[in-house]
Amino acid sequence: MFGNCADPGALDGLAWLGCYLTTGKHMSLYGSLGTVLLLLAITAPTALLFGFGGATAARSHVAPLRWFGKTYIAIVRGVPDIAFFLFFVIALDQGFEYIRHHVLCPEWPDTVRQGNDFVVCAQAKLPLGNSPQWVHETYGFLLAVLTFAIVFGAFAGNVLFGAMRAVPRAQLETAEAYGMTRGQVTRRVLIPQMWVYALPGLSNLWMVLIKATPLLFLLGVEDIVYWSRELGGAKQPQFTDYPHPDWRMWYFGALLVFYLCFTKVSEIVMDRLMARLTLGQATAGGEAQRRAGA
């Protein structure tokens, strides 16, 4: 806060608004934009890794591995996202604590399940009760990232599985005829060519992931939706030096602009990436590029 903001009652107009928008809580709002961007930066490659693992498992010649890959993709895609987010985070947290409880407190006399309560020893809590606040917030954020990655990894796995099947079989057989092993065919022929088929689906999935970031609010992470709701609600003089009526419309309108701009920039980047991937490929996009350059 600037020095001229020491007495909010003496301010009006743009001076009042400038001081209001630079309060500590508004700085938390601006910082929560970084939380959203960090979530996307970590979740996108992690979900892609989960998806690639699921798609590879679904194509495996080993039956149990193939069943696992197809089951993972089918189950996660079939459960509503909001139900998965609300249930899985709790189950994952309790699963970690349950394992730690049996390892660290083997002599614990009581059962973990006590009616509707889940009770473990103090040493098994995640994070520990005496941990700093930032540890609790980081742990909650990492749980959210893992949940996002598992959910969107299943959708990415379905996209990649279809893209792998779209690569012409004749090209794979030609590579095998030249003496390549199955692993070499996968690395040198299948994977490089599948991206041109996978990118349209993955770009749509990226847009959905961007729009799903407000689910952080449901997971207890203080994201931009949380702070917009808190700051936009009507504030009375006894609670703040900057009382105002209900401004949630303006806060959520700013969120609308932010997400629209973000998705538009993403669309431009995806289009350029698609043009680069189709260059020289035996696809409709590659043929169009050849004709344009002729």
- Render pLDDT for 26-69 as a digit per residue (tens, 0 to 9): 888 888 888 889 989 999 999 999 999 999 899 888 899 999 99
| Rounded Cα–Cα distance for residues 246 and 253 (Å) | 13
Q: What is the pLDDT of residue 174?
A: 85
Q: What is the mean pLDDT of residues 78-100?
A: 80
What does the pLDDT read at residue 1? 53
Say how many C-beta atoms besides its own lie within 10 A of residue 213's C-beta: 22
- pLDDT (0 to 100) of residue 6: 66
Joined tokens for residue 257: 């602009």
Domains of the chain with CATH codes: 38-220+251-279 (1.10.3720.10)
Say if pTM beats, i.e. exceeds, 0.75.
Answer: yes
Q: What is the pLDDT of residue 51?
A: 92
Output the CA–CA distances (angstroms, integers) from residue 200 to 154, 161, 204, in the order listed: 16, 14, 6
Predicted confidence (pLDDT) per residue in 153-189, tens digit: 999 999 999 988 888 888 888 888 888 888 888 888 8
Contacts with 279 (C-beta within 8 Å, 6 or more apart), sequence order: 286, 289
Least confident among 21-35, 47-61, 186-200, 228-242: 228-242
